Amino acid sequence: MSRIVYVNGSFVPEAEAVVSVFDRGFLMADAVYEVTSVLDGKLIDFAGHCVRLARSLGELEMKNPHSEAEWLQIHRDLVDQNGLVDGMIYLQVTRGNPGDRDFVYPGPEVMPTVVLFTQSKPGLADNPAAKVGWKVISIPDLRWDRRDIKTVQLLYPSMGKMAAKKAGVDDSWFVQDGVVTEGTSNNAYIVKGSKIITRPLSNDILHGITRVAVLRLAAEAQMEIEERAFSVDEAQRADEAFITSASAFVMPVVEIDGTAVGTGKPGQVVARLREIYLDEMRRAAV
């Protein structure tokens, strides 16, 4: 089915959606993005994604082209026009098309390019992978030092996903200075007893919107949280491990570099967190 996508104020069939070859998003990865999940036609944690979008744009001295209310309307129109039930909305804002290639940022006369599209994933919340868990490998983190900004520079994460695919597993965990930073497109956690351990926020990782919600809900459920880095070795000896992201929600990790975590099967703490997260997010969806 042909999708209706959003480009710079217009809703058009995907085949008619056009961006210039001089767009800085294309030439220089000069762009930021967000991915928001949709369950039962409603947006999950939309406000959180809007806040992070504004922050990413601000860090790159880019103007936010829309208010939160306008972004919400565009998202909702896109859901309606595509009859989206379960899936994701991808949003990208680039520094626009200055008409030529130049390392210097263009002036304010150049408008940002805004693109949004839907990805249909029927039964997204019932992903069977959550019952078996992911296997991951660890690889060096060779990304730039501003991973807190959600830019479209996704070549290294893409290489990490390919390394995982070639190794016959589901994802790669990045390692820097002997400790895990995050997954290719998700935040990483381990569980020891009833304590959840995850890296504190810094420029080394993306400030996951799912991470904020999961840590809040875990604290409300009286679970203990320790924000500190952990090594692959410690993760392999943990009781449970998991990742969070807007598209995978809370996903158990059952094997790291060929070593089973805990029983090698998804554990109870992660299963409970996934359930709490999905229940609460469905309830608060807009």
Structure tokens at 52: 């992070």
CB of 104 to ligand PDD, least distance (A): 28
Question: Which residues lie across from 81 on neighbouring strands?
Answer: none
Cα 254 from Cα 243, distance rounded (Å): 11
CB of 115 to ligand PDD, least distance (A): 15
Q: Compare residues 211 and 274 and give the one whose CB is closer to ligand PDD.
A: 211
Cα 71 from Cα 50, distance rounded (Å): 8
Helices 46-59 and 209-220: crossing angle in degrees, nearest 10, is 130
Q: Which residue blocks in the chain are alpha helix, DSSP H?
A: 24-28, 46-59, 68-82, 129-132, 155-166, 209-220, 232-236, 268-284
Where do contacts with ligand PDD occur on this chain (CB under 6 A)? 35, 182, 185-187, 206, 208-211, 244-247
Active-site hit among 63, 135, 150, 195: 150
Q: Compare residues 32 and 98 and give the one whose CB is closer to ligand PDD.
A: 32
CB of 204 to ligand PDD, least distance (A): 10
Q: Compare residues 35 and 60 and give the one whose CB is closer to ligand PDD.
A: 35
Q: By the 8 A CB rule, do 54 and 64 touch?
A: yes
Cα 57 from Cα 32, distance rounded (Å): 7
Q: Compare residues 180 and 256 and give the one whose CB is closer to ligand PDD.
A: 180
Cα 32 from Cα 188, distance rounded (Å): 22
Cα 181 from Cα 174, distance rounded (Å): 6
Q: Compare residues 96 and 208 and give the one whose CB is closer to ligand PDD.
A: 208
Q: Is 42 a catalytic residue?
A: no
Catalytic residues: 150
